[in-house]
Amino acid sequence: MGLYKLAIVGRANVGKSYLFNTICKKKISIVHEREGVTRDRIYGKAIFSNNYFTAIDTAGLEANSNFSLIDEISIQTQIAIEEADVLVMVVDAKVGITTLDHIVAKNLLKTKKRVVLAVNKVDNEKLKDKVFEFKKLGLSEIIDISAAQNLNINELLELAFQDFTFDESTDIDEQNKTKIAIVGRTNVGKSTLLNALLNEQRAVVSDTISTTRDSIDCDIEIRGKTYTFIDTAGIRKKSKEKDLIEKFSHSLTLKSIERADICLLVLDAQDLMTFQDKKILQVIEKHSKGCIIIVNKWDKIKDVRQEHFLKMLNQSKLYFPALIISAIKKLNLNKIYSLIDQIKKNKERTIQTSHLNKFIEKCIQKYHPPMIFGKRLKIYYLTQIKNNPPYFLFFVNYPNIFTPTYKKYLINSFRKNFDFEGSPIIFGIKKKPQSSL
């Protein structure tokens, strides 16, 4: 049995995302005064009485809307309700009961699941008296909370998981998961790719630019391996980040890259690789993450052979593998997993010092280090300090004359000689300590 799932539902702007972040004890969902900020189902791992469970944040429900995106959001919330073991309906003590609250409560009662009514924003004694009026919603389990002040959150979870039996073996070993961040510019098909991989509607897909604002974690288990895919908001140029929410989404995307093992950089095949794509690639490299370049929307390309396209693409980055796909047509999606496995293996590789030094000898014989200030660089040996990502250290006589040009020559030769495709490699330089007599 997997982890129990607790879904947080309710109308817009009652504090669901604030409660979700408080329960998970980290800022995962975007919290903002504006309605409708959360659009997808957001999953987070949380702990209650030393037992793990999965919390699900959902979009704020809105009634009588003709907008297709809002309909899609309602579907996302309904899916979360279906898969949850327990439901927490959030209402606003300061606003009181609304017509939409009645509609939501009525629908939740039909599920026959445990529903706890969390009367949020009870920040003072006066508001406590308003809690009783929410009994009109027909939900028997009621508790007043303040997500902002972390008030009665533990009591809420006690009420939600009352009589639940937790199995310690259901806790997920995070070390066995490979975390993959799906990143790229806005509207290149990141959410469509995630949905295609999941074979279900997990992330909201829309033609509207910047639909995904939160980062979403989704687990896929294949042949005994667990892959955690992190869908992220599209990265724009900073000058085009018009408001606070977009800037926060940008920040969340960077954090997703930081916690990922491997990034899937999604490109639009119609654009090849843009300047902004290259900037995102620099961020991935800066954080020493593995990377696969995913060329999406191949279904829109006519009269171009894949190998010719990849040849043009690989002129810029030789050591990141590129894969042409169509997320909407599910073309080549099965190849993503083998590439992820190979990059993970490359990141964890260890090379013996003897093999490294044979390689260095060949490089020096082919191209001697230059003479600088009357001194010639001498490389005594190269050794691997750690892996994941692989970190190698050159021990030399004079670190200050180890020129960037010569270092680049050695790194390029290294990648041709050893199979580290898709994996970052870190090289350090250190002066060899003098032996004392």
69, pLDDT greater than 60 = no
- The partner residues of 51 in beta bridges, in order of sequence, read 48
232, pLDDT greater than 80 = no
The mean per-residue pLDDT over the stretch 296-314 comes to: 85
pLDDT at 62: 67
pLDDT at 254: 76
- Does the fold of domain 353-431 match that of domain 5-170? no
Q: CATH assignment of 5-170?
A: 3.40.50.300
pLDDT band at 402 (very low <50, low <70, confident <90, very high): very high
The class of domain 174-347 in CATH terms is alpha beta
State pLDDT tens for residues 87-145.
999 999 999 999 889 988 988 898 889 999 999 999 887 888 888 899 999 999 999 99
pLDDT at 73: 47
Do the strands 5-9 and 51-57 form a parallel or antiparallel pair, or are they unpaired? Answer: parallel
Helices 16-24 & 153-160, crossing angle to 10 degrees?
90
The mean per-residue pLDDT over the stretch 285-303 comes to: 92
Query: Residue 49, CB half-sphere, CA atoms under 13 Å: how many?
Result: 14
State pLDDT tens for residues 308-367.
888 777 755 568 999 999 999 999 999 999 999 999 999 999 999 899 999 999 999 999
State which amino acid sits at residue 302: K
Closest CA to 58 of 12, 114, 115: 12
Share of the chain above pLDDT 70, in %: 79
State pLDDT tens for residues 151-165.
999 999 999 999 888
Q: Taking all residues of the chain, what is their mean pLDDT, rounded to a whole number?
A: 81
Residue whose token pair is 């504090």: 15
276, pLDDT greater than 90 = no
pLDDT at 300: 92
199, pLDDT greater than 90 = no
What tokens does 208 get? 């509207």
pLDDT at 267: 94
Please state the three-class secondary structure of the chain as a single string.
CCCCEEEEECECCCCHHHHHHHHHCCCCCCCCCCCCCCCCCEEEEEEECCEEEEEEECCCECCCCCCHHHHHHHHHHHHHHHHCCEEEEEEECCCCCCHHHHHHHHHHHCCCCEEEEEEECCCCHHHHHHHHHHHHHCCCEEEECECCCCECHHHHHHHHCCCCCCCHHHCCCHHHEEEEEEEECCCCCHHHHHHHHHCCCCCCCCCCCCCCCCCEEEEEEECCEEEEEEECCCCCCHHHCCCHHHHHHHHHHHHHHHHCCEEEEEEECCCCCCHHHHHHHHHHHHCCCEEEEEEECHHHCCCCCHHHHHHHHCCCCCCCCEEECECCCCECCHHHHHHHHHHHHHHCCCCCHHHHHHHHHHHHHHCCCCEECCEECCEEEEEEEECCCCEEEEEECCHHHCCHHHHHHHHHHHHHHCCCCCCCCEEEEEECCCCCC
Contacts of 230 (CB under 8 A, 6+ apart): 179, 180, 181, 182, 215, 216, 217, 218, 256, 259, 260
425, pLDDT greater than 50 = yes
| Domain spanning 353-431: CATH 3.30.300.20 | yes
Domain spans in the chain, listed from the N-terminal domain onward: 5-170, 174-347, 353-431
Torsion of CA 197, 198, 201, 202, to 10 degrees: -110
44, pLDDT greater than 90 = no
